[in-house]
Amino acid sequence: MAELTYREAVAAGLAQEMERDDSVYFIGEDVAAPGGVFKTTGGLLERFGPRRVRDTPISEEAIAGAVMGAAMTGLRPVGEIMFSDFFATCWDIVANQIAKTRYMTNGQVTLPLVIRAANGGGLRFGAQHSQSVENWAMAVPGLKVVAPSNPADVKGLLAASIRDDDPVIFLEAKSLYPTKGEVPDGEHVEELGRAVVHGDGEDVVLVALAAMVPRAIEAGERLRDEHGIGCRVVDLRSLVPLDVSTLLESVRATGRVFTVEENPRLCGWGAEISSIVAEEALYDLDGPIVRITTPHVPLPAAETLEDATIPSASRIVDTVVKEQ
Amino acid sequence: MSVVARWAREAKLDDPTRLELYSKLSEIRQFEQRAYDLFLQNLVAGTSHLSLGQEAVAAGFAQAMRDDDFTFCTYRGHAHTLVRGASMTGLMAELLGRSNGILAGKGGSMHLTSVENYAMGSYAIVGSHLPIAAGAAWAAQERGTGQVSVCFFGDGTTNIGAFHEALNLAAVWKLPVVFVCENNLYMEYTPIASVTAVEHPGADRAAAYGLESLIVDGNDVDEVYGIATTYLERARDGGGPALIEAKTYRKGGHSRADPAKYRPPQEVESWLARDPIILYRSRLLELGVEEKTLDDIDSEVLTAVDRATEEAKAAPPADEELIHADVWADGGSRWRN
């Protein structure tokens, strides 16, 4: 085991797969010589050379289009969209072309590609560089959506995403980039569509994703220690595919469900979770499903405002205590 | 008659290319005419965008392309897909929503694709396929396959962002891609000149990306074949991308819903007088090709179109079981366990 930061795990995952498979290429804005604006891809240019690690112009449609065209003709490319907010400038390629072409061509086209992006708030960048857009991608049939919560998963899930034969939107939580964690030595590949449960409390389950996972874990510890409420946290890890069976097991074990979502309220992924739980496990519930989300506002920039907007461990604790 | 391409002046009369070009023109013309007739008989649902009048661009390029060069085209893509060798029955059946459609009925007229013929898809959002075609060229460049990506689009596409992003990337990465602007003078219903800052929407933009300004008579299949050969070869040899503007004209409207009444009668008349099939047929006759040879080609094509129509009509409707197939590479559509 080595301790890596979340940002170092990105380069580690890419390097592992580029080493293994010559058809893996990586392109994006400022990714090669500068090593990424979040310093996630440093060292790759030196290791794999300027053809396989390549800077692009500020052209998100060209990046998304190039990885699509290359994926359908023999490469296994990874593209970076610097901030996930910028998906809005290439959403045609992502949602209309990448997501639908296999289906529309009756399976003639296969698109083994990954588009990575820094997602979510925490850096006081304001409403156009801090959004959590996982629910945009989740709403489009044909896209897999992966969002890791720790360095080991960054490496393992990125590797799995690159090896997957379908298009994957890989969302890195930018507030987690400096966080550290143990990453297994040697080849590390996780499985898409398998959630992980932290803890075994029997009172409530907190269902979380990406940057909300460490906050939910912290809240769970405080709920146990300060309020005697036993929590378990389900880290979904991917929204598509969605590990419903692990989710429902935890629902049955606890009887109370709280979702913890960074995305704004309407149509956040937690709404789908709530719907599934209501349809399939209603009689296992001891009380209403509660969603803890960012309110339905564009994310404000100032520290005090951003902190008050995105769910915090304290807000999770307060909500659970009040509702329990 | 325009100045005929060098290849045509120098080619021998019995060069098979001449009759192959004629055959491709005839195939597109008769297929599209039949598609139109089937619309009128209410056998085709949805929309359709025909290449009647624009056949020479598709025919000339397809003739010049290597078998494994990539075609990327737009929703006006019947011609480009057919002419790469896709199954005529499969294409016709797709328009009719039948189970033997080339996409099993899941794509329809605007998304015709035949990967086995390197026809990599018809893209129905204006501009989207230019970066994708550049991506295929990038893969060909990296894999050293010698393939060239050829990307067809309309004049209206030159005003959308993806056009410029793709041109720039192709130029800076020196990609083996040939962009072909089929300028039929109208972006859907609006004259392109009234919404475009330059006179030649494709060619006048080329300089911005360090490319030559290239205009070809898109109704003269010899000219198209000539320029296509030149720039495909150049791209294949590492010379980078090209942007070719082919001036042409639709015989009819933008789509089936459009009677094209906005076009001045004189303009229509002068372009129809330069119908690419009439033009090429009379050139071949002048060169001494027997009329019967051309008539035989036409009737062979007609037989094929008739057969495709019958095979499409006879097939059952698209299979509902396929609704859940092929969202994912595992063949299914499951998003949860």
Give the mutation candidate from B138, B323, B333 for the A interface (greatest A CB count, under 10 A).
B138
CATH of the domain at A91: 3.40.50.970
The closest of A167, A109, A102 to B116, measured between CA atoms, is: A109
Q: Do A108 and B138 touch (CB under 8 A)?
A: no
Chain centroid, CA A78 distance in Å: 16
A9 near A155, Cβ under 8 Å?
Answer: yes
Which candidate from B107, B168, B328 shows the least CB-CB separation from A104?
B107
Query: ipTM greater than 0.85, yes or no?
Result: yes
The closest of A309, A291, A128, A109 to A209, measured between CA atoms, is: A291
Q: Does B320 touch chain A (CB under 8 A)?
A: no
Domain assignment present for A147: yes
Q: How many residues does chain B have?
A: 337
B108 near B97, Cβ under 8 Å?
Answer: yes
pLDDT tens digits, one per residue of A126-157: 999 999 999 999 999 999 999 999 999 999 99
Which candidate from B132, B335, B337 shows the least CB-CB separation from A68?
B132
Say yes or no: A174 and A216 in one domain: no
Q: Do A107 and B133 touch (CB under 8 A)?
A: no
Q: Does B144 touch chain A (CB under 8 A)?
A: no
Domain assignment present for B200: yes
Instruction: Name the DSSP class of A87.
Output: G
Q: Which of A118, A153, A183 is the last residue of a domain?
A: A183
Q: Do A109 and B103 touch (CB under 8 A)?
A: no
Does residue B217 sit in helix, strand or coil?
strand
Which residue type does B134 have?
Answer: A
CATH of the domain at B150: 3.40.50.970
List, as ranges, residues 76-135 from B with C-beta within 8 Å of A. 102-104, 106-107, 111, 113-116, 120-121, 123, 125, 127-135
Strand pairing class (A26-28; A53-55): parallel
pLDDT tens digits, one per residue of B207-243: 999 999 999 999 999 999 999 999 999 999 999 999 9
pLDDT tens digits, one per residue of A59-100: 999 999 999 999 999 999 999 999 999 999 999 999 999 999
Give the mutation candidate from A18, A23, A103, A146 for the B interface (greatest B CB count, under 10 A).
A103
CA distance B60 to chain A (A): 24
Angle CA B315–B320–B326, to nearest 5: 105
The closest of A9, A76, A4 to A41, measured between CA atoms, is: A9
HSE-up (13 A, CA, CB side) for residue B138: 36
Say yes or no: A14 and A97 in one domain: yes
In the predicted model, what is the mean pLDDT of residues B166-192?
A: 96
Domain assignment present for A234: yes
User: Any long-range contacts for A20-25 (C-beta under 8 Å, 24+ apart)?
Assistant: A20/A187, A21/A76, A21/A162, A23/A74, A23/A75, A23/A76, A24/A52, A24/A75, A24/A76, A24/A77, A24/A78, A24/A162, A25/A51, A25/A52, A25/A53, A25/A54, A25/A70, A25/A75, A25/A76, A25/A77, A25/A78, A25/B142
Domain assignment present for B297: yes
The residue of chain A nearest to residue B319, with distances taken between CA atoms, is: A106
The residue of chain B nearest to residue A241, with distances taken between CA atoms, is: B335
Q: Do A66 and B329 touch (CB under 8 A)?
A: no
Q: Do B336 and A243 touch (CB under 8 A)?
A: yes
Contacts of B162 in chain A (CB under 8 A): 61-62, 65, 92-93
Domain assignment present for A83: yes
CA distance A269 to chain B (A): 13
The residue of chain A nearest to residue B94, with distances taken between CA atoms, is: A105
Which candidate from B111, B139, B335 shows the least CB-CB separation from A70?
B139
| Res B1 pLDDT > 50 | no
Dihedral sign for Cα atoms in the order B155, A100, B108, B92: positive
The residue of chain A nearest to residue B99, with distances taken between CA atoms, is: A106
Say yes or no: A174 and A217 in one domain: no
pLDDT tens digits, one per residue of A94-124: 999 999 999 999 999 999 999 999 999 999 9
Say yes or no: A32 and A161 in one domain: yes
Give the mutation candidate from B328, B330, B333, B334 for the A interface (greatest A CB count, under 10 A).
B328
Q: Which range marks the domain in which residue B153 is found?
A: 6-316
Say yes or no: A13 and A152 in one domain: yes
Say yes or no: A294 and A256 in one domain: yes
pLDDT band at B200 (very low <50, low <70, confident <90, very high): very high
Dihedral sign for Cα atoms in the order A194, A199, A205, A209: negative
CATH of the domain at A218: 3.40.50.920
Q: Do B106 and A103 touch (CB under 8 A)?
A: yes
Say yes or no: A203 and A111 in one domain: no
Domains identified in chain B, total number: 1
> Phi/psi of residue A161, each to 5°?
-65, -40
List, as ranges, residues 182-241 from B with C-beta within 8 Å of A. none
Residue A268 CB contacts under 8 Å (≥ 6 apart), including other chains: A135, A259, A261, A291, A293
CA distance B39 to chain A (A): 22
Q: Which range marks the domain in which residue A294 is found?
A: 196-323
How many interface pairs between A and B have CB atoms less than 8 angstroms apart?
167
Say yes or no: A169 and A293 in one domain: no
DSSP H helical ranges for chain B: 6-10, 16-40, 55-64, 78-82, 88-95, 129-143, 161-172, 203-206, 221-236, 265-272, 276-287, 291-314
Which candidate from A25, A72, A105 shows the least CB-CB separation from B103?
A105
CA B144 vs CA A158, A296, B118, B147, B238: distances in Å:
28, 50, 17, 8, 10
Q: Residue A29 and residue A58: Cα distance in Å, rounded?
A: 6
Extract the runs of DSSP E, i.e. beta strands, from A102-194.
114-119, 144-146, 168-173, 180-183
pLDDT band at A287 (very low <50, low <70, confident <90, very high): very high
The closest of B180, B188, B145 to B163, measured between CA atoms, is: B180
Q: Residue A132 and residue A298: Cα distance in Å, rounded?
A: 10
Contacts of B121 in chain A (CB under 8 A): 101, 105, 109
Catalytic positions of A are 129
Q: Does B321 touch chain A (CB under 8 A)?
A: no
Q: Does B169 touch chain A (CB under 8 A)?
A: yes
Domain assignment present for B325: no
Dihedral sign for Cα atoms in the order A51, A52, A53, A56: positive
Residue B123 CB contacts under 8 Å (≥ 6 apart), including other chains: A97, B72, B73, B74, B75, B111, B129, B132
pLDDT tens digits, one per residue of B60-91: 999 999 999 999 999 999 999 999 999 999 99
pLDDT band at A293 (very low <50, low <70, confident <90, very high): very high
Domain assignment present for B324: no
In the predicted model, what is the mean pLDDT of residues A225-234?
A: 98
Q: Is it true that the peptide bond before A184 is cis, omega within 30 degrees of 0?
A: no
Q: pLDDT over 90 for what percent of chain B?
A: 91
Q: How many residues does chain A have?
A: 324
pLDDT tens digits, one per residue of B238-263: 999 999 999 999 998 888 888 889 99
Domains identified in chain A, total number: 2
Which candidate from B102, B134, B330 shows the least CB-CB separation from A69?
B134
Contacts of B166 in chain A (CB under 8 A): 61-62, 65
Which residue type does A116 have?
Answer: R
B249 near B54, Cβ under 8 Å?
Answer: yes
Which residue type does A324 have?
Answer: Q
pLDDT band at B23 (very low <50, low <70, confident <90, very high): very high
For B59, the token pair is 């025919």
pLDDT tens digits, one per residue of B88-100: 999 999 999 999 9
> Phi/psi of residue B171, each to 5°?
-70, -45
CA distance B125 to chain A (A): 8
CA distance A81 to chain B (A): 15
Q: Do B337 and A65 touch (CB under 8 A)?
A: no
Q: Do A65 and B325 touch (CB under 8 A)?
A: no
The closest of B172, B244, B153 to B204, measured between CA atoms, is: B244
Say yes or no: A319 and A273 in one domain: yes
Q: Do B107 and A106 touch (CB under 8 A)?
A: yes
* DSSP bridge pairs for A205: A232, A257
Say yes or no: A291 and A203 in one domain: yes
Q: Do B326 and A240 touch (CB under 8 A)?
A: no
Contacts of A67 in chain B (CB under 8 A): 135
The confidence score (pLDDT) of residue B3 equals 58
Say yes or no: A38 and A131 in one domain: yes
Mean pLDDT score across all residues of chain A? 98
Domain assignment present for A189: no
Say yes or no: A206 and A254 in one domain: yes
| Res B2 pLDDT > 50 | no
The closest of A53, A164, A69 to A112, measured between CA atoms, is: A164
Q: Does B311 touch chain A (CB under 8 A)?
A: no
The confidence score (pLDDT) of residue B6 equals 83
